[in-house]
Amino acid sequence: MPQQQRRRQQSVVSSVVSRLGFALMHALTLPYYRFFRQDTLLPILAIAKAIDVRRDEEEIRSMVARWRARKLYELHYIQIAVSRSD
């Protein structure tokens, strides 16, 4: 019986540590996730919805062009940040 009790305690401890690890990971990556969601995911979903609704082709091109411009600006910003950290 003590062997089973020890295994159960190890299992509980392992589960708690795992959950704490996931919570810490989510807390540390929350700013990146919000940035990704706001600047990448939501615009892509809006473009996809516009395509599904069959909006004007010119409006869709405009949406894609704005998204592309934001992504290029983000790329340049990251390149500058990385080059200045050396």
- pLDDT score of 34: 86
- pLDDT score of 31: 85
User: Are 30 and 39 within 8 A, CB to CB?
Assistant: no
Residue in 26, 63, 45, 3 with CA at minimum distance from that of residue 18: 26
- pLDDT score of 42: 93
Phi/psi at 81 (nearest 5 deg)?
Answer: -60, -40
Domain range holding 35? 2-84
- pLDDT score of 84: 72
Find tokens 């062997």 and name the residue. Answer: 3
Query: Which pLDDT tens digits describe the chain residue by residue (86 residues)?
Result: 578 888 888 888 888 889 999 899 888 888 888 888 888 899 999 999 999 988 789 999 999 999 999 899 988 888 887 887 65
CA distance 65 to 86: 33
Instruction: Give how many domains the chain has, as a whole number.
Output: 1
- pLDDT score of 86: 55
